[in-house]
């Protein structure tokens, strides 16, 4: 299995699952953590709106929207279909 390239949440393909690698710092981090995002968490990108609109993801079985600018600062590692947790995006315990 080859190394997967890291990318931003905003640049992740729609429908793709990924693991969060890094979150931005400061207030942006606090807002994302309040929504349930943290390093190591599995997410699925539902959509990204054109013209710097929000990015919609699924995390812990909930669909949430994140601003384009913040989503560009969330680094993720896309999962391949052979990755151990590819099908396990159900609600995770904190």
Helices marked H in the chain: 26-34, 68-71
**pTM for the model:** 0.80
**Assigned domain for 22 exists:** yes
**Assigned domain for 89 exists:** no
Report pLDDT for 88: 55
Give residue 93's pLDDT band: very low, low, confident or very high (50, 70, 90). Answer: very low
* Sequence-ordered strand ranges (E) for 1-94: 7-8, 17-22, 42-48, 55-59, 62-66, 75-78
In this predicted model, what pLDDT tens digit does every residue of 50-73 receive, in sequence order? Answer: 788 899 999 999 999 999 999 999
Judge whether 51 and 33 are in contact, CB under 8 Å: no
SS3 state of residue 39: coil
The CATH number of the domain holding residue 41 is 2.30.30.90
Q: What is the extent of the structural domain holding 21?
A: 7-78
**Assigned domain for 12 exists:** yes
**Assigned domain for 54 exists:** yes
**Assigned domain for 66 exists:** yes
The domain total for the chain is: 1
For 34, counting Cβ atoms within 10 Å of its Cβ (0-12 exposed, 13-18 middle, 19+ buried), the class is: exposed
**Assigned domain for 18 exists:** yes
In this predicted model, what pLDDT tens digit does every residue of 19-35 receive, in sequence order? Answer: 999 999 999 999 999 99
**Assigned domain for 41 exists:** yes
Report pLDDT for 42: 96
**Assigned domain for 44 exists:** yes
């Amino acid at each position: 299995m080859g190394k997967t390239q890291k990318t931003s949440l905003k640049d992740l393909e729609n429908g793709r699952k990924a693991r969060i690698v890094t979150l931005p710092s400061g207030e942006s981090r606090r807002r994302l953590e309040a929504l349930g995002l943290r390093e190591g968490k599995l997410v699925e990108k539902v959509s990204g709106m054109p013209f710097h609109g929000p990015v919609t993801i699924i995390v812990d079985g909930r669909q949430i929207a994140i601003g384009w600018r913040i989503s560009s600062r969330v680094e993720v590692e896309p999962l391949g279909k052979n990755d151990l947790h590819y099908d396990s995006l159900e609600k995770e315990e904190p």
